[in-house]
Amino acid sequence: MKQIILPLLFMLALFIFPKQCFADLVASESFSLTIPQTTSLQLISDKTDFGTIQSSEYGVSNKSAHVITLGDGTNNNSHIRTNNPKTVANKQFKLSFSSDSMNVNVVSEDNIAKLVLTDANQTEVSINITDYNQSERPKLGAGQGSEFVVQDSKSLSIPAASNIEFDDQIAALSMKMDLDESTLDVNDAPQTMSFNVVFSIVGIN
């Protein structure tokens, strides 16, 4: 019986499914995923120079004159923005200072960081690097903020594991650069003293 049924089934299959050519039907679409920077830094100043200095101001230290603001801790212009504050909060943060035309040194004095610029002719001028109240070193983060300390002769830093406080994914910088007019001298050569400031998070590309 098996020998009769099997050939019949084979013949039936050939009859129902004759050999044919089929064309493929294809539809396609391309998609892309762009992953943005998860952490960004912004450093914006209200101006890029200290304004016109009068010779009558030499020898006088005036906190209200010749100040550049790089984030006053309230307007959030200069800040860190991240979608992962928990990870970023314990990185190391740096403010580095340099110049292409003169020597730059960072020192600490009376809880204020000072940027000392010295040209080739030994003209030496100091700039106080303070918080927005101009009473302490710069700070970073919400609430009371974490204070930068002098790391070396070229930079200020907040050490890792400082747990910077973020407010709605933003940690604002509180920093002013206040020219110390008392360090100007009538014998200083007329010139423009230029320097650079870099705000960075160590360990994040």
**Where is pLDDT greater, at 9 or 182?**
182
Give, rounded to a whole angstrom, the gap between the first and last alpha carbons of the chain. 78
Cβ-in-10-Å burial (0-12, 13-18, 19+) of 118 comes to middle
Residues 6+ apart with CB under 8 A from 168: none
The whole-chain average pLDDT of the chain stands at 88
Q: What is the mean pLDDT of residues 45-72?
A: 92
Amino acid at 175: M
pLDDT tens figures, 89-146:
999 999 999 999 999 999 998 889 999 999 988 899 999 999 999 999 999 999 999 9
Q: What pLDDT sits at residue 124?
A: 94
Does residue 157 have a pLDDT over 70?
yes
Q: What is the mean pLDDT of residues 29-35?
A: 90
Q: What pLDDT sits at residue 1?
A: 43
Q: What pLDDT sits at residue 14?
A: 43
Q: In what order do the strands lie in the sheet with 92-98?
A: 149-152, 155-158, 92-98, 196-202
- Which residue do the tokens 């070229």 mark? 154
What residue ranges in the chain does DSSP mark as E strands?
Answer: 39-42, 67-72, 79-82, 92-98, 103-109, 112-118, 124-130, 139-140, 146-147, 149-152, 155-158, 170-179, 196-202
Closest CA to 50 of 115, 146, 138, 145: 115
Does residue 88 have a pLDDT over 50?
yes
Q: What pLDDT sits at residue 4?
A: 40
Q: What pLDDT sits at residue 81?
A: 95
pLDDT tens figures, 6-30:
443 434 444 445 566 777 899 999 9
